[in-house]
Structure 1
Amino acid sequence: MNKWRGVIIDDQQSAIDHIMEEVKDLPFVEIIGTFTNHRAGAQFLHVNPVDFIILDVELENTNAFRFLASLSNPKIPTILYTGYDKYEDEGYDRAFVDVLLKPVSRSRLLGALRRLDTELKALLPVTDNALEGYYEYFQVKGPVRFQRQIVWFKDLVYADMQNGKLYLHLQDGTSLETNSTFGRIMELLPTKWFMECAKGVVFNINFYKGVLDGAVVLTAMKKGGQDNLTLPRGNRQAFPDFFAFVDSNIL
């Protein structure tokens, strides 16, 4: 079964909580982010591919239509969620998946999500985990004042904290030091491809090879040729998402 990944953006936390409660047991939907601040939501969408958005119409200093127009991909399948029925006609005219009125009933929400499921299966190919064609990047401060170094997500093998400094380790074997925090790098990295395996350590799953003797083994290009890298592994209680990933990759 396909599992569609989506986000909820609504400036009312109570509305988000209501939807989260209704979808928590659905096998074909995974909410990977919720935002009461639409700017934070836009930043997340810039680096995290999603299959759909559940979006409030009236947002602080903007609305759903302007918000979608500002995205790099304004055609992300969207379910509008609003307290005002005046937006129903416009929502349907613009071919949104559905327009839901607050407070939405469980049956009405499930109907919209089933319609989403049908449309995504028919129109969108299921993509793999490859970052090869993903051309997004971020920048870090270089060793020279005012210099900026571009880091392509597909070239970042892992990042870790060493003696209070954050290091980014690239596929060509080089490493970059940055004054940024580990929390900040976790905000930037696409959650679909980057996994935190221990405190202060996050890796690109496209380089994942396995777990051996309590360590995470990666395959990556190092200076001098192909070789393996090993990273520390935290415990199952502290890093449940990592262990779910490991378990899903064992035959």
Structure 2
Amino acid sequence: MIKLKCVAIDDEPLALDLIEEYISRFPYLQLVRSFEDAISGAEFLKSNPVDLLFVDINMPDITGIDLVRSLANKPIIIFTTAYKNFAFEGFELEALDYLLKPIDIARFTKAVEKALEFYNYKNNSSAEAAEESFYVYSEYRMVKINVAEIEYLESMEDYVKIHLAGQPKPVLTLMSLKKALEKLPADKFKRIHRSYIIAVSKVRSIHNRKLKLGDAELPIGESYTESVRGWARNF
């Protein structure tokens, strides 16, 4: 059985005790060490790589953000916080999730199940697995995107909106459309405009340089017209 090596860091003893107790309930989690002192925890992590780190954001000596930023080899990160309307500079750290104190077991379970899934994803190098899903950072956490659910991707300056079938709200992530296309199987996704990539299987009709899929009607860019004609012959 896979065991994720974990470290927990929190300056509040009761919060740390609760995380330790929760970790003990999951056979695929192994608590290596826990620390009430963030600086000691950071020093331990620099010479002892682990798979998963639970770390409080607000600590008196150094913040959880600064602690994570100092690590050369970053584990999977789950931040914890006592503040509902928190603000932190952790976007570039790509934390898997964050937990609001007091942490309940149901929410903890959801986070660690996601951690195990993400660990397996990172350690599975098969091309088939890579085509099935990928992860993006959105709204302070890593979000799994199932390739089969994508209808189209829309460029919004430095961001990409990923529109998923059956989901009223797209996933917004900091990424270029070119980078997004690299994550997708080339035979199943095509660029039709400088602002749009579509899933070929979701296309309902093509007419007058307009393409319909789901509830959306998208323009076909002039420079993409010949390319669309090429793959649309098999449509």
TM-score by length of structure 1 reads 0.46
Whose radius of gyration is greater, 1 or 2? 2
